[in-house]
Structure 1
Amino acid sequence: MQLDRTYQRELLNTLAAVYPDRLDHRAMLQRLSPDEVKRYCANMVYLDEHSLVDSALEYGDKSPRAALPRITGKGMDFLADDGGLSSILGVVTIKLHEDTLKELIGQRITESDLPASEKSKLLDQLKSLPGEAIKHLTLKLVDAGLANWPIALQAIEHFVHAPK
Structure 2
Amino acid sequence: MKVERSVQKALLERLNEAKPNAVNPSELKDLIDDMKQLTACCLYLHEHGLVRATISKFMSGESELLAAEITADGVDLLRKYGGQATILEANTITFHEDEIRHLIEARVLEAKLSDTDKQDLLQTLRQAPADSIRHLTMQLLDAGLENLPRAIQLVRTCIWNSRA
Partner residue of 2:100?
A: 101
Q: Against the structure 1 CA distance between its residues 138 and 123, is the aligned structure 2 distance closer, same or farther, given a 3 Å change threshold?
A: farther
Structure 1 SS opposite 2:140:
helix
TM-score by length of 1: 0.70
TM-score by length of 2: 0.70
Distance in 2 of aligned mates of 1:89 and 1:146: 31
Q: CA deviation at 1:101?
A: 2.3
Distance in 1 of aligned mates of 2:108 and 2:71: 52
Give the fraction of aligned pairs with identical amino acids, expressed as a percent.
27
Partner residue of 1:50?
A: 48
Distance in 2 of aligned mates of 1:56 and 1:139: 53
Partner residue of 1:18?
A: 18
Deviations 1:97-118 (A, max 9, x none): 5554233212321355643212
Distance in 2 of aligned mates of 1:146 and 1:103: 26
Which sections of structure 2, spanning at least 5 residues, go unmatched? 159-164
CA contact (8 A) 1:56 1:69 kept: yes
Q: Against the structure 1 CA distance between its residues 13 and 94, is the aligned structure 2 distance closer, same or farther, given a 3 Å change threshold?
A: same
CA contact (8 A) 1:22 1:70 kept: yes
Alpha-carbon RMSD: 3.3
Which sections of structure 1, spanning at least 5 residues, go unmatched? 155-164
Q: CA deviation at 1:26?
A: 4.7
Structure 2 SS opposite 1:134:
helix
Structure 1 SS opposite 2:34:
helix
Q: Against the structure 1 CA distance between its residues 28 and 59, is the aligned structure 2 distance closer, same or farther, given a 3 Å change threshold?
A: same
Distance in 1 of aligned mates of 2:111 and 2:22: 64
- What amino acid maps onto 2:74 in structure 1? G
Q: Against the structure 1 CA distance between its residues 118 and 146, is the aligned structure 2 distance closer, same or farther, given a 3 Å change threshold?
A: farther
How many residues align? The count is 152
Residue pairs, 1:106-125, within 5 angstroms: 106-112=105-111, 114-125=113-124
Q: Against the structure 1 CA distance between its residues 92 and 43, is the aligned structure 2 distance closer, same or farther, given a 3 Å change threshold?
A: same
Distance in 2 of aligned mates of 1:140 and 1:115: 23
